[in-house]
Amino acid sequence: MLAVGVIVTTPAIAKSEPVLASVDWVVSQIEPLEERINALEERVDELEGDVEDLQEEQNN
């Protein structure tokens, strides 16, 4: 995460605060999506394994 420590506030820093807040918001939106994507990828791997097992059973 981004951390900014400033003793004196300048106009440039004041203008950057909304940008930093926007970056934090975007990151907070992406992280849960990334977790869901990872969980779905794991589930797809499990299901692919199940399909392979069923195909082997069917061939025997």
Quote the tokens at residue 27: 């990151």
Q: What's the pLDDT at 53?
A: 96
What is the DSSP secondary-structure string of 6-58?
Answer: -SS--HHHHHHHHHHHHHHHHHHHHHHHHHHHHHHHHHHHHHHHHHHHHHHHH
- Answer whether 2's CB lies under 8 Å from 24's CB: yes
Q: What's the pLDDT at 12?
A: 63
Q: What is the mean pLDDT of each run of 10 residues along the chain (60 residues)?
A: 51 66 84 93 98 94
Q: What's the pLDDT at 56?
A: 95
